[in-house]
């Protein structure tokens, strides 16, 4: 008989293939060595003071509860200060995403900032073009963001020197990590809601571009309210009252395993799997495959199956998702309570991608009763 192309082989334990990491390398969760020559030299980063640093001296105690003030509640929903005459808005899709031209977010009045929180909660993600955020002193950008809540300091991501409140996304020029990443993974899509393991996860969240590839590196968003509304009333009713555990332990362990820093010891928290938005009253699915571990009270197989259904439902819902294309000067805000997002690593041009996130924390997730 002709030899089969595939033959059984016996492997020693040391030769066993390594399982793919559950943490995408596209997401900066651990330090790496920056190529100073590439990042600081000619054609280096446009905003070198925003290059990532990881300082082992940055050690913080556990986060304490604080009272969140939801400014979106106070907003005039005709948006006179946020979207005055002459502003151009274009919806990216019917249920999620709007692009805005013609206003400068950093100059908004208090009323305008309240309207911003509400508009973002309603539209889920909003891209403001031609913004000056990247050119402001970092402290001014942080002072603006502080209106929406206490700054979250990420346990392990890179931050600009002396500004641990800024979370950086950075892929340097000529970075080749995608080559190894796609040896073990078919796709870079990794849906998540940011740091949902915290007791009070972020709400109104800001992300602005510093450097970008000409094409590629878009960010995907999904509307978790619409995802909830698409479910049958019977199914929605069953989800109410359930809680899930979200854990930051594995992210911290991955950072440590890579020799990186952990600024604060990791935590886990239980959150309702359907949460209500404090300003809009909308209900959203609040479980995500990066940080949610299991549903409390279910057996493992039951919890795994239900979570997989919810993750797939969110991931397949291209008819309630939006894709943001970054342009120089783009500032994106999303409401992290009612959306999930994913970076995309789909460019191989070796062009730098560099973004800064400001991450105000919000209320402890709460649920209101099923309404049919």
Ligand X SMILES: O=C(O)CCC(=O)C(=O)O
Q: What's the Cα-to-Cα distance from 42 to each of 36, 45, 46, 210, rounded to whole Å?
A: 11, 9, 10, 16
Least spacing, CB of residue 136 vs Fe ion, in Å: 22
Pair 56, 261: CB distance under 8 Å: yes
Are 99 and 83 contacting, i.e. CB atoms less than 8 angstroms apart? no
Q: How far from chain centre, in Å, is Cα 110?
A: 26
Neighbours of 126 (CB within 10 A): 25
CB of 169 to ligand X, least distance (A): 4
The window from 53-61, 86-94, 186-194, 285-293 that contacts Fe ion (CB under 5 A) reads 186-194
* 297: number of Cβ within 10 Å: 10
Residue 355 interacting entry, from Fe ion, ligand X, none, C-beta within 5 to 8 Å by type = ligand X
Of 32 and 191, which has the nearer Cβ to Fe ion?
191
Decide if 111 contacts 81 (C-beta within 8 A): yes
In angstroms, give the least distance from the CB of 297 to ligand X.
30
**In whole angstroms, how close is the CB of 194 to Fe ion at the nearest point?**
4
- Of the candidate residues 117, 134, 169, 362, the single one contacting ligand X (CB under 6 A): 169
Tell me which of Fe ion, ligand X, none is bound by residue 207, counting a contact when its beta carbon lies within the kind-specific cut-off of 5 to 8 angstroms.
ligand X
Site membership for Fe ion, residue 194 (CB under 5 A): yes
- For residue 169, the partner it binds in ligand X, Fe ion, none, with Cβ less than 5 to 8 A by kind, is ligand X
When the beta carbons of 152 and 277 are compared against ligand X, the nearer one is 152
Closest-CB residue for ligand X? Answer: 343
Nearer to ligand X, 45 or 239 (CB): 45
Give the residue with the Cβ less far from ligand X, 45 or 83. Answer: 45
**Least distance (Å) from Fe ion to the CB of residue 341?**
6
Q: How deeply is 62 buried, as exposed, middle or buried, from its count of CB atoms within 10 A (0-12, 13-18, 19+)?
A: exposed
* Residue recorded with tokens 């996860």: 201
- For residue 27, the minimal CB distance to ligand X (Å) is 6
Nearer to Fe ion, 251 or 260 (CB): 251
Q: Which is nearer to ligand X, 115 or 219 (CB)?
A: 219
- CB under 8 Å to 230, separation ≥6 — which residues? 313, 317, 320
Inter-residue contact 119 to 82 (CB < 8 Å): yes
Q: Are strands 268-272 and 125-128 parallel, antiparallel or unpaired?
A: unpaired
Using CA atoms, how far apart are residues 114 and 277, in angstroms rounded to an integer? 15
Nearer to ligand X, 54 or 79 (CB): 54
Binding mask 343-372 for ligand X (x = CB under 6 A): x-----------x-x---------------
Residue showing the smallest CB distance to Fe ion in the complex: 194
Within 10 angstroms of residue 57's Cβ, the number of other Cβ atoms is 6
Q: Is 310 in the site for ligand X (CB under 6 A)?
A: no
Residues 190-249 that bind ligand X (CB under 6 A): 194, 207, 219
Structure tokens at 98: 């709007």
- Nearest residue (CB) to ligand X, 79 versus 144: 144
Token pair for residue 338? 């009612």
User: What is the DSSP secondary-structure string of 46-76?
Assistant: SSGGGS-B--TT---PPPPP-----GGGG--
- Smallest CA-to-CA distance from 335 within 249, 276, 266, 295 is with 276
Structure tokens at 264: 């604060």
The span from the CA of 47 to the CA of 233, in Å, is: 49
Out of ligand X, Fe ion, none, which partner does residue 219 contact, by CB within 5 to 8 A per kind?
ligand X
Q: Does 198 bind Fe ion (CB under 5 A)?
A: no
Choose the contact partner of 121 out of Fe ion, ligand X, none; CB within 5 to 8 A by kind.
none
Q: How many residues bind ligand X (CB under 6 A)?
A: 8
Q: Give residues in contact with ligand X (CB under 6 A).
A: 169, 194, 207, 219, 341, 343, 355, 357
């Amino acid at each position: 008989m002709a030899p089969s192309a595939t033959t059984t082989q016996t492997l020693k334990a040391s030769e066993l293939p390594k399982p793919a990491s559950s943490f995408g390398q596209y997401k900066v969760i651990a330090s790496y060595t920056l190529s100073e020559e590439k990042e600081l030299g000619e054609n280096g980063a446009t905003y070198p003071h925003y290059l990532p640093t990881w300082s082992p001296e940055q050690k913080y105690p556990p986060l304490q509860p604080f009272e969140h003030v939801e400014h979106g509640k106070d907003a005039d929903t005709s948006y006179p200060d946020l979207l005055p005459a002459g502003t151009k808005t274009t919806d990216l899709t019917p249920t999620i995403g709007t692009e805005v031209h013609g206003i400068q977010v950093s100059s908004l009045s208090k009323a305008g900032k309240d309207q911003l929180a509400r508009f973002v909660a309603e539209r889920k993600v909003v891209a403001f073009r031609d913004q000056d955020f990247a050119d402001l002193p970092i402290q001014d950008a942080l002072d603006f963001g502080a209106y929406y809540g206490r700054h979250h300091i990420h346990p392990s991501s890179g931050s600009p020197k002396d500004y641990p409140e800024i979370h950086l996304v950075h892929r340097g020029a000529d970075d080749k990590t995608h080559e190894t990443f796609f040896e073990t993974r078919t796709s870079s899509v990794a849906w998540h809601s940011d740091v949902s393991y915290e007791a009070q996860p972020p709400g109104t969240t800001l992300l602005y571009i510093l450097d970008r590839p000409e094409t590629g590196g878009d960010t995907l968003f999904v509307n978790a309210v619409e995802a909830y509304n698409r479910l049958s009333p019977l199914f929605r009713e069953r989800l109410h009252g359930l809680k899930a555990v979200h854990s930051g332990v594995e992210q911290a362990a991955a950072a440590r395993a890579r020799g990186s820093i952990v600024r604060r010891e990791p935590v886990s928290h239980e959150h309702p799997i359907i949460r209500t938005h404090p300003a809009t009253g909308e209900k959203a699915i609040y479980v995500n495959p990066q940080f949610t571990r299991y549903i409390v009270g279910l057996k493992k197989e039951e919890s795994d199956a239900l979570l997989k259904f919810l993750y797939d439902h969110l991931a397949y819902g291209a008819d309630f998702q939006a894709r943001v294309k970054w342009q120089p000067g783009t500032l994106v805000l999303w409401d992290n309570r009612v959306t999930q997002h994913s970076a995309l690593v789909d460019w191989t041009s070796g062009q730098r991608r560099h973004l800064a996130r400001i991450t105000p924390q919000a209320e402890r997730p709460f649920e209101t009763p099923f309404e049919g």
